[in-house]
Chain A
Amino acid sequence: MSLLDKWRKPEHQWVDESLSAYLDGELSPAEKSRVEQHLHECEACAQNLATLRQTVSLLRELPAKRAPRSFTIRPVSIRAKRAAAPPAWGYGLLKGATALAALLLVLLVGGDLAIHFVGFPLASWGAGAPAEEVAMAPAMEPSMALAPEEEQAILGQDKTEAPAAEPPTNQEEATAPAEAADEYETPEEMPTAEARAEETGPAGTPVAPVPSGEEPLLEEEGVGAGAAETPTAALATPAAAPTVGETSEPTAPPAPETVPAEATQEPEAAPSPTPTPQVLAMAEVPQREGEVEYAGGVQPEEEALPFSALRLAELVALGVLVLLATGTFVSAWLRRRSG
C-alpha cells in the first residue's frame, strides 16, 4: 500500500462521515473545501452524496401528520395523572424499606457470626444482664466465670469489700446451690465448687495473665466436653443443670475449676479439698481449648438466651425482607404493566 493510499483511506472515511453535515451546511469553510476537493477525485463519495441528498429530500417530503384529536388539558386528565402517581410513590417507599430490611439482616447475621467466631466479648456483653445477677444469686455464680475480665473485676470489687471477712456468706451461698444440686446427686461437690467459683473474683489478679478469651472457654469445657467426668452441675444454673447432671459423676473432684485452683493458693477461705486434680485440670486446659471452642453443645442458659434472641431477630428480619421484596416486585410489575 502506497503512502498516498494510506492517506487517502482515512480521508475517504472522514469525507463519507462528513457528507451529512456538508448537506446541511454545518461544516467550516476549511472542511467544506476539503470535502469538495475529495468529491472531485472520489466517485464513490460523489455517489454517496447524491443518494444521501435524495434520502433527506424524501424525508422532507413526507406529509405532516395532523393530530387526530385535541390534546388540550382537562381537569379530568390531570386527575387521572395524579391518580396514577401514588403507585410510583409507594414503589419508591417499598424499595427503600426493602433496602433497609436487607441492611438490618446483614447487620444481624454479621453480629451473630462475630459472636460465634470472633469475639467472646460480644457474647459476654449479650450475657451481661444475667451475669450481674450473679453477685446476688449464688446459684448463678458460674456465669461469672463465663464472663470476661470486666465482670470478674466487678465480682472482685464485691469481694474486696468483704471477701474473706465473710466466710459464713460463702457457706450460705454454698447451701443454696447445694439444695438445687441435690436433685442431681452432687451434694458434696456443690458447695466447694461454688466457693471456688466465688473466689475467682479475688483471685482475679493472679489469673490476669490468662487471656480474657480463655476463661470462658475453660468453663465451657467443663460443661460441654468434660461433662462426663466432672460435677459441672455446679457451673450451671438449676435450669441448665439437668442436662449436665444426667451424665456427671458426683465422685470426681471439680477438675475444670482451673481458675479457682489459682485462688486456692490465696490464703483466704479456701476449702480446696483436692488441689492436685485442679493442677491436673490446669495442665489439661490448653489441649482442650480447641475442642471446647466449637463444642458448645450444652451451653448454660445465660449464654443461650442472647443467641436465641439474635436468631429470632434474624428470622423476623428475614421474613420482613422477603415480604418487602415480594411487595416491591409486585409493585414493579404492576407499574410496568400499566406503563
Chain B
Amino acid sequence: MDEKALIAAARRGDTHSFNELVSHYQDMVYNVAYRILGDSQAAADASQDTFLSAYQAVGKFKGGSFKAWLLRIATNACYDQLRLQKRRPTSSLEAVYTDSDSSSHFVNGRESPEESALRHELGQTIQGGIGTLPAEQRVTLVLSDVQGLSYVEIALATGASVGTVKSRLSRARARLRDYLLDQAELLPAHYRLRSEG
C-alpha cells in the first residue's frame, strides 16, 4: 500500500482510495476505541465517527504521520463517546463484563480452554481497571501500552506536550497497578502482580 499516493488521491476526493486507508487502519482505530471506552458498541460508533470526520477533513491533512493524525481524530471521537457514557452510565459497565466478543480471548492453539477462560477473566479485570482512570490518563495509557506508540507519537495524537504525556502515563500505570493489586484475590494466581525481588 502506497500510503502517500492513497492520501493524495483521497484529498482529491477519491472515496475508493480513502476506503483503502480505512481498511488498513480500522482495526487499530477500533482496538484503541474499545480499550478506551470498554464497550464494543460505543467503540464501533467512535470508529465510524472517526472515519467520517477524517474523510471530511482529509483535505486539510498537511502531511506528517497519517496514523497520528487519524488517532487524534479517534481520541476526540472517544472523548465524545465518554461524554455520552457519562450521561448514560449503565451501558458501558454492563458491556465491560458481558462482552463475549471472541476476539477478547487470547487465541493460542496450545492454550487449554481453562487457561483461555482465565485470560479472558484477566482481560476483563484489566479493562475494568482502565475504566477507573480519568479520561486523559486512559487515552495516554491505551496509546502507549495497548497500541505501542512512542511518547512523541502520543503527544502528536493527543495534542499534549511530551512532558505531560510522561507524567500522565506514569500516573496511569501506577493507578492501574494499584487497582490490580487490590483485585489480586480476583485474579488467577498465575497472573497476580508480585515482586520479582
Contacts and interface: CB of A to CB of B under 8 A. Distances in A.
Q: How large is the interface on B (under 10, 10 to 19, 20 to 34, 35 or more residues)?
A: 35 or more
Interface string A55-87: 110111111111111111101011001000000
A65 B180 CA distance: 22
B145 A60 contact: yes
A51 interface: yes
B108 to A, nearest CB: 10
B31 A64 contact: yes
A65 B34 contact: yes
A56 B15 CA distance: 39
A5 interface: no
A161 interface: no
Interface stretch (A18-26, A170-178, A237-245, A291-299): A18-26
A52 B123 contact: no
Interface string A1-34: 0000000000000001111110010100000000
A19 B167 CA distance: 11
A53 to B, nearest CB: 8
Main secondary structure of the interface of A (DSSP, over half): helix
Interface stretch (B45-53, B59-67, B89-97): B45-53
Interface string B23-39: 10011011100110000
B177 A65 contact: no
A62 B30 contact: no
Given A62-B35, A64-B27, A66-B103, A54 B194 contact: yes
B19 A72 contact: yes
A56 B145 contact: yes
Interface string B68-95: 0000000000001000100100000000
Contacts of A20: 166, 169-170, 173-174
Given A46-B195, A67-B44, A72-B19, 18 more contacts: A18-B170, A48-B177, A53-B196, A58-B122, A59-B146, A60-B145, A61-B106, A62-B127, A63-B104, A63-B105, A65-B43, A67-B30, A67-B47, A71-B26, A71-B48, A73-B19, A339-B80, A339-B84
Interface of B: 15, 18-19, 22-23, 26-27, 29-31, 34-35, 40, 43-44, 47-48, 50-52, 55-56, 80, 84, 87, 101, 103-107, 122-123, 126-127, 141, 144-146, 148, 151, 166-167, 169-170, 173-174, 176-177, 180-181, 191, 193-197
24 contacts: A16-B174, A17-B167, A20-B174, A21-B170, A26-B151, A48-B177, A50-B194, A50-B197, A51-B193, A55-B180, A58-B191, A59-B176, A60-B146, A65-B30, A65-B43, A65-B101, A65-B104, A67-B29, A67-B44, A70-B23, A71-B26, A72-B19, A72-B22, A73-B18
